[in-house]
């Protein structure tokens, strides 16, 4: 019995050994290939072990020009012109340093401007009474332009007045209309003086 069991064990061991030796090599090749492929993938995916290369080629650089705006500067204010000469005549006008002529209060005061204006006021002051205008400062006068001209009323003489006038013309001894008008003026009091003495008026 012991010999049979031993033979059985030997036979089993031989079968196992034969099974191990008869494993086809093609079955182990994929394992090696997969391992190599995995290793290459890991090497490619690992940034620490794979050098970084750049294939970017710069062909041109476009720069945008920025226009420079100069700072704004204000022109200096020109100095105000000054008086060079006070012009004679009416106080005030002066020749300035820039060649122009302008009013100067300083020249006005220096040449007695206030006194000049007062004399002008007095020279042009007239008091009018409806007949004549008189200057109280200079004594000058001229006819009042607003004087009222009396309106002469003309009426037709009555027959009695016509006869009286005819008698007056005969008494006057005048042969012209001017002489007759003077006679009636002296008679009625419109005219006075030596011209009326010839008729006793």
Q: Read off the pLDDT of residues 13-60 as tens digits, 9 standing for 90 and up.
A: 444 544 444 444 444 444 444 444 444 444 444 544 445 554 544 445
Could you state, in order of their start, the residue ranges of all structural domains in the chain? 83-111, 159-199
Q: Which of 69, 103, 68, 64 is nearest to 83 (CA)?
A: 103
Q: Read off the pLDDT of residues 126-172 as tens digits, 9 standing for 90 and up.
A: 999 988 999 999 889 999 988 887 777 777 888 888 888 888 888 88
Q: Read off the pLDDT of residues 78-91 as tens digits, 9 standing for 90 and up.
A: 788 999 999 988 89
The pTM of this model reads 0.35
**172 and 179 Cβ atoms separated by less than 8 Å:** yes
């Amino acid at each position: 019995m012991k010999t049979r069991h031993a033979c059985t064990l030997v036979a089993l061991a031989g079968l196992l050994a034969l099974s191990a030796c008869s494993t086809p090599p093609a079955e182990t090749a994929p394992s090696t290939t997969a391992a190599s492929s995995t290793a290459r993938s890991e090497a490619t995916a690992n940034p620490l072990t794979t050098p970084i290369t750049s294939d970017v080629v710069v062909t041109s650089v476009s720069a945008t020009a920025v226009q420079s705006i100069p700072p704004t500067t204000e022109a200096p204010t020109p100095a105000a012109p000054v008086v060079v000469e006070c012009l004679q005549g009416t106080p005030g006008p002066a020749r300035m340093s820039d060649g122009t002529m302008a009013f100067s209060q300083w020249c006005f005061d220096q040449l007695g401007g206030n006194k000049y204006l007062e004399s002008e006021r007095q020279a042009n002051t007239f008091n009018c009474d409806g007949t004549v205008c008189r200057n109280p400062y200079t004594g000058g006068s001229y006819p009042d332009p607003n004087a009222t001209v009396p309106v002469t009323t003309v009426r037709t003489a009555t027959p009695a007045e016509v006869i009286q006038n005819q008698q007056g013309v005969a008494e006057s001894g005048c042969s012209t209309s001017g002489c007759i008008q003077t006679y009636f003026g002296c008679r009625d009091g419109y005219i006075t003086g030596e011209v009326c003495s010839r008729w006793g008026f």
